[in-house]
Amino acid sequence: MEVSSVLSDLCTNHKEGHVGDLFWYRGNKRIVSIYPKQQLDISGWISVIPGRTHLPLQIKGTKSELITTEKSFYILVEANYNTCQYNFLSNVLELETFGVPVAWHVGDRISILLRTDDVSLSHLSVSFLQNNLTLENGIEIMRIQSVDVIGSPYKIYNISSVPQTYAPLDPRLSRNERKDFFMSRWRAHVSMLSTFCEAIDQVKDTLQDISVRHPGSGVGAVKLVPSNYINEVEDIPEYTPSTNDVLEKNNSVPSSVSIMESPSQSSGQLSSLTSTEMSTAQGSTRLAADSATTSLSSLRSLPVTPRRTISTDVGFDRIKPPNIIIFSDSASAADSVKVALESTLLKDRYTIHVLNFAGMLSTPWLHQACLVVIHGNVPPTFTSVITDYLLQTSGSLLVLCSDFLGSILPMFHTAEVRPNELVQCSYKSWKHVPLMHHVFCYQPTPTAPQFSHDEHSSLRAIPESVEIKDRQGQLHKLKIDILGAEETWQTPSLLLVSLVNSTSKIVFSQVHLEVAPCQYECDDKKRQALEKSDKARLEILCDVLGSHLGLQCSIKQPHITYTSAYFLGKHEAKQELLDKLKKEGTLDSNIVMKAGTLNLKFCGKGVTPPTPSANLLPVLQHSCPHSFSTVDYFENLNTKSVGRLEMDVGIKWPNDIYVNKRTKLGGVLVSSVLSNDTVICNIGCGLNLYNKDPTVCVNDLIDSINKETGSKIPELTYEIYFANVFNKLEELYKMAQAGNIDDVKSMYYSFWLHSDAEVEVKLAEHNVKKVKIKGIDSYGFLRVETPDGNELTLQPDGNTFDMLSNLIISKAMFY
């Protein structure tokens, strides 16, 4: 297993950690020693409520008197909430049996800090060896790791305001309805926990208290305060379990846990993608955030609006940029892979997605990917999904430091632990290149009882070809080539596996082609060696992607040139805005406004603008860009206070702009910031105006129309485009302010691509429900109608609509 998956990336020193001894190894479970001891900062965490609680999971109360304070220490338990299942019957680990739950955090996983002692941990270890256990409802344990703790968690001040997401389900519902409601409610519960943690991350550095109102919860805001804010929290209402409660723990046993476990061999059920209003202790709750919600409200019909049918189908076949999908059991490792790909692939050619296990089980994404990158360990059930991808789509795989090697090539089941080892590798003309090796060195199963240093002994066991079966039992032949070898042990570091009679290929790498030298800042020797070989590392990765996997790559990427921005508008209006920003404290004394990592420096007359960079944007107040005609801009600008070509342009829910109903032309992205009682919405609209790659642009369409029809339509310039955007934006703003929302929706539907379209909604356990799209509701959520006449609602933040495959899938599948 790769080090980053053995160590939790939540620990502040996880990059310094390495595996010491491998004590036990079986299947996807390992017990190892880690050096140095990992340090966990819980400043952004939330204290576990004493006694019985449902945050973050059901805890019946602790037996703190059994844990001796003098000999106690902390362990970190991490679990994958995407594996939650309805009516899961198996042995369940009750954390409170092994220690005192202290604090929790929810991001891309559920993390719980437990105070325990030697006796309890030994019981854990024995149970780990003897049982196959999960947390409640099949929630799979990813890892358990001892940690030193720094920082103090936040506390929930007003516990009664927390929505009770574990209330019993209505027993009158059918089994399928109960299952759908159960999964919907679980997604809402995770969404609520994640919302709390995200809010704390915004204020933890300044130790401010913060109030969070989960959207539509029907209860007051939940106040989160630093640990030293109060001495006592309010009385805790204990939750009384019901026999109808489908979230109760099943078959609990006194001892069971995995100290370090890859995703389990279970199917990893997909969470429900449609959900209902939650039944809570306070009443019916409509949840937003990233959970998909469904409203069983009465059917509402769309307004009848004409649809323009002007054709601009000029033969463009680049619908969207090709997809590259990264799957990793570690979010930080996935980020490293993404950075490496972005350093080698041609710019603006590919769209890179990072998916978790549930996302990888969503076949529409796999069938639209030109490359899938696998990093780290994968569940055994993933093998059949990837096999189908290779056999049915002629796709390609890049597998980096993963036990998936043994899933395709069974002879690679023998592994030697080699933590943090720097090795010399050779590939084509690149010789003796220092690279970091995978923590497990997989070798062909040796005939001798011990590993051999003899090259021929190690490589002789690799056959020229193997055969694999698809789900229908048909055999397919795979050809094996050794691309590169590691020189110390003479083991294959790069393998090419080609599907005979197909273009599908797999490249397996046992060295870290994605790891940058900066990840070894605490080890000068390794860092210096990797810095010298970093150019060769990227060149090897570039050649592997280009020569063997057919992607467009180049190490020589165009240099990014940063330029100043220009503040256009009437002098009085510009000065009024700057004065207002100064008064609010948004502009500092140097006339600098901070926007995340970017600083905007406003430069007036007589001020020499600083050099623009990725983190500094000079904004010139009294200058005009040479490449932008302010005359054309203001001549076309008809607005009072806000800064025509007919094409078959449509809107794909929730935020994409399409031309000819199939090719993406642009998109809209809205982000919001909550500051005290003020909500600031930032609307970004990107349109391909001049850029030909990666799909098509407006002016290419104009050129094609002119050639086909003999027209002389002028190209759309930046000036005219921006002027018309602001004209229409102000028109829409005034309509909304005047309460004419129906007129705004009518205009929206005139470009809508989905009216009465029949699609399929993917639910938990791979269940699919056919629905008909009816429109959007007042929140902008997608309204769909089931065959039995019920109406469901899907949120744009919780779902993504794949128009080409007619599927609506959960965004929870992405990291």
Mean pLDDT of 788-801: 71
Does residue 700 carry a pLDDT above 60? Answer: yes
Q: Which residues contact 179 (CB under 8 A, 6 or more apart)?
A: 86, 87, 272, 764, 765
Mean pLDDT computed over 811-815: 47
* Spatial separation of the C-alpha atoms in residues 441 and 400, rounded to whole Å: 12
> So what's the pLDDT on residue 803?
57
Ranges of each domain in the chain: 18-226, 323-446+459-548, 565-623, 634-751, 757-810
Q: Say what the pLDDT of residue 15 is.
A: 85
Q: How confident is the model at residue 398 (pLDDT cuts 50, 70, 90)?
A: very high
Q: What is the pLDDT of residue 281?
A: 26
pLDDT greater than 80 at residue 534:
yes
What confidence score (pLDDT) does residue 498 get?
A: 92
Angle between helices 741-749 and 718-737 (to 10 degrees): 140
Higher confidence at residue 365 or residue 153?
Answer: 153
Q: How confident is the model at residue 765 (pLDDT cuts 50, 70, 90)?
A: low
CA distance 357 to 166: 25
Q: Looking at per-residue confidence, does 219 or 320 come out higher?
A: 320
Question: Residue 24 above 50 pLDDT?
Answer: yes
With beta carbons less than 8 A apart as the criterion, state whether 295 and 791 touch.
Answer: yes
**Residue 66: pLDDT above 70?**
no
The stretch 716-742 carries a mean pLDDT of: 86
Domains 634-751 and 757-810 belong to one CATH topology: no
Q: Taking a C-beta distance cutoff of 8 angstroms, is the pair 587, 575 a contact?
A: no
Question: Pick the residue with more confidence: 253 or 339?
Answer: 339
Whole-number pLDDT of residue 64: 52
The more confidently predicted of residues 4 and 60 is 60
Q: What is the pLDDT of residue 766?
A: 58
From first CA to last CA, the distance across the chain in angstroms is: 20
For the whole model, what pTM was predicted?
0.48
What pLDDT, in 10s, does the model give residues 103-152? 999 998 999 999 998 888 888 777 766 677 888 888 988 888 999 999 99
Q: Is the pLDDT score of 507 beyond 90?
A: yes
pLDDT at residue 435, as a whole number: 93
Q: Is the pLDDT of residue 31 over 90?
A: no
Residue 613: its pLDDT value, please? 92
Average pLDDT over every residue of 319-341? 86
User: Over the stretch 426-446, which tens digit does the pLDDT of each residue have?
Assistant: 999 999 999 998 877 777 765
The pLDDT tens digits of the residues spanning 164-196 come to: 666 677 777 888 888 888 888 888 888 888 888
In the prediction, which pLDDT does 796 show? 64
**Residue 303: is its pLDDT beyond 80?**
no
CA distance 136 to 713: 64
CB 635 within 8 A of CB 722: no
pLDDT, position 540 = 95
Range 28-43 average pLDDT: 86
Mean pLDDT, residues 776-785 taken together:
82
Average pLDDT of 391-395? 78
pLDDT at 132: 77
The answer to whether residue 653 scores a pLDDT higher than 50 is yes
- Sign of dihedral through CA atoms 263, 264, 267, 271? negative
Residue 259 confidence (pLDDT) above 60: no
**Percent of the chain at pLDDT above 90?**
18
Phi (first) and psi of residue 707, to 5 degrees: -70, -35
Residue 335 DSSP SS3: helix
More confident call, 549 vs 586: 549
Transcribe 451-480 into DSSP letters: ----HHHHHTT--SEEEEE-TT--EEEEEE
CATH 2.40.50.140 fits 634-751, yes or no: no
Question: Are the beta carbons of 252 and 272 closer than 8 angstroms?
Answer: no
CA distance 126 to 686: 57
- Strand pairing category for 46-47 and 663-675: unpaired
Phi-psi region of 420 (alpha: psi -120 to 50; beta: other; left: phi over 0): left
| Per-residue model confidence (pLDDT) at position 455 | 45
The confidence score (pLDDT) of residue 650 equals: 85
Q: Which residue has the higher pLDDT, 747 or 88?
A: 747
Specify the range with the lowest mean pLDDT, choosing from 594-603, 674-683, 721-730. 674-683
- pLDDT, mean over the chain: 75
Q: Which CATH class is domain 323-446+459-548?
A: alpha beta
Q: What is the mean pLDDT of residues 648-676?
A: 80
Class of domain 757-810: mainly beta
* Predicted pLDDT at 363: 52
